[in-house]
Amino acid sequence: MLGFATSFLLWTAAHAVPTIKSSLTVKVRNGTYIGAHLSAYNQDLFLGIPYAQQPVGNLRFTVPQSLNTSWDGTRDAKEYSDICVGYGTDSIWYPRSEACLTLNVIRGSSTGNDSKLPVGVWIHGGGFYQGSGADERYNMSEIVANSYKIDKPFIAVTLNYRLSAWGFLASSQISGSGNTNLGLRDQRLALQWVQENIAAFGGDPEKVTIWGESAGAISVGFHLTAFGGRDDKLFRAGIMESGGSIAAQAGNYTSSQADYDEIASKVGCSNMIDSLQCLREVPFEKLNAILNGTDGTSDYNFWPMVDGDIIRNWGSFQLDQHAFVKVPIIAGTNTDEGTAFGPTGINTTDEWYEYLTTGDFNFQTPTAIAKRILNLYPDDPSQGIPAYLGDKRVPSNGYEWRRTSAFAGDWTMHANRRRQCEAWAETSTPAYCYRFNAHSADVPLLSGVTHFEEVSFVFHNIAGQGYHYGKPFAGVPQSNIDLSSMMASMWASFIHNLDPNPGIVNKSVQWDAYSNSKPVDLVLDANNTSHMEADTWRKDEIDFINSVAQAFWR
């Protein structure tokens, strides 16, 4: 458990210690919580609030269960809970346990319990195997404070959900028992808790925006298409940063069976009549030791999969069928996403063709499709990424690295974003689409404008809270900070108004919605003035990927 002062380093660049107001209480359905006051931002914080029964014992590997107890008196909500068990650098900084299904509420102290403010619910990324709602990089204090400053105030919620095998274990046993995609179901139950309780904090349950990046954005995309696009009135808008309803990584329960069987064998559950129940009874330390690799990551990769229930079909099918909740969205990607996802060490066209067709890629690409990819992404470094390199190659990453990285970015992120915006336009639903194009200081120049780089800009995290490997705004020009201020205002304005434009201080920028007659993106750039552009960037390549989506199981 984080200590009291330590737990609040997230909330202030100055590391100010919060003071507690004895009257800072909120009564939710199950009882009354006491939060804490952060004087540096004049904000009230309610941390570590359970939204479900904790998934321990027989509730491990089980669909999350609603809270079923209440209490008299008060309980403290002044510290984060343990985060959900995850494997990787996003998780190693925080205490982890199975008892982790909690959320955090952040509001301005001027907010009355009857204010009925809009609500932004942040769903963290991390590949569905790491991360948390307590990650200091997702510093809500700055963006919430700015929202009040521009008169577009909102209340923020962050949450934890089960990760890796704990949240996405897959097999015939899992599918047959109905305990599929548990991490997504955790998120869904957290959204239900918000519907039932956020009014007590001064929030309006009818004005909830769900919002995430990477796996968090894919989660938002899944909620938009959940149960065949059924509208359960859990949210009125969505924000997707580098992810969406089409998930690039394919998978099914058959393909995961071998991993399930291996895990069951290692803990002595293989020969049990009910291997899933046996796994529930394995001591945490023993099971965690199997899942936790020697390098701090897991040897087993589990991912949300089509289960015929919460995920009824591949995302491309559902977008084509317009089987999604028709609410306004923000959806975007970063120019050089592929430097984070592409292969290294590929030196010839033949090696890349082999990579695509033999299974080193996520699956074996059909021959005709692989050959078309080679043509669309020619052996010409000037057509690769990052563009600033001109016609130079990067032999240390592979002679073909710029070429393969361009494809990787389009395949994992850009094609999915474009199809998302097109589907919204087809149903005349507002979509504000963007391409983020500003390099920050926490990654090498060679990475370009890579995955995750917009996050610090959106959260206006100028101090770099939670960035352990480099500060994104260290030594950058003022234009980067100005862009961050604009983006934080746009996001807050969208959460408040369903339109990113009213809260913008710099009125020289107008973000137009995407439409069939005018498919456009906002290029968010620090070096040049942010501007609208026709959504034709890498058009032939991206359109081809979307045209063969079924072959990619996406």
Of 510, 536, 330, 525, the closest CA to residue 437 belongs to 525
- Give me Rg for the CA atoms of the chain: 23
Of 507, 477, 494, the closest CA to residue 434 belongs to 494
Show Cβ contacts of residue 23 under 8 Å, excluding neighbours closer than 6 positions: none
d(CA 538, CA 412): 14
In the set 98, 213, 337, 453, the catalytic residue is: 337
Helix axes 478-497, 140-149, angle to 10 degrees: 70
Amino acid at site 167 = G
Show Cβ contacts of residue 521 under 8 Å, excluding neighbours closer than 6 positions: 332, 421, 433, 434, 435, 514, 532, 533, 535, 537
Q: Could you tell me how many residues make up the chain?
A: 554
DSSP 8-state symbol, 426: H
Amino acid at site 61 = F
In the set 91, 164, 214, 316, the catalytic residue is: 214
Contact between 109 and 43 under an 8 Å Cβ cutoff? The reply is: yes
Residue 337 annotated as catalytic: yes
Q: What are phi and psi of 65, to 5 degrees?
A: -110, 140
Of 420, 432, 428, the closest CA to residue 514 belongs to 432
Of 190, 184, 96, the closest CA to residue 135 belongs to 96
CA 16 from chain center: how many Å?
Answer: 29
CA angle 143, 102, 37 (to 5 degrees): 50
3-state SS, 171-203, equals CHHHHHHCCCCHHHHHHHHHHHHHHHHHHHHCE
Contact between 505 and 489 under an 8 Å Cβ cutoff? The reply is: yes
Amino acid at site 210 = I
What positions carry a catalytic annotation? 214, 337
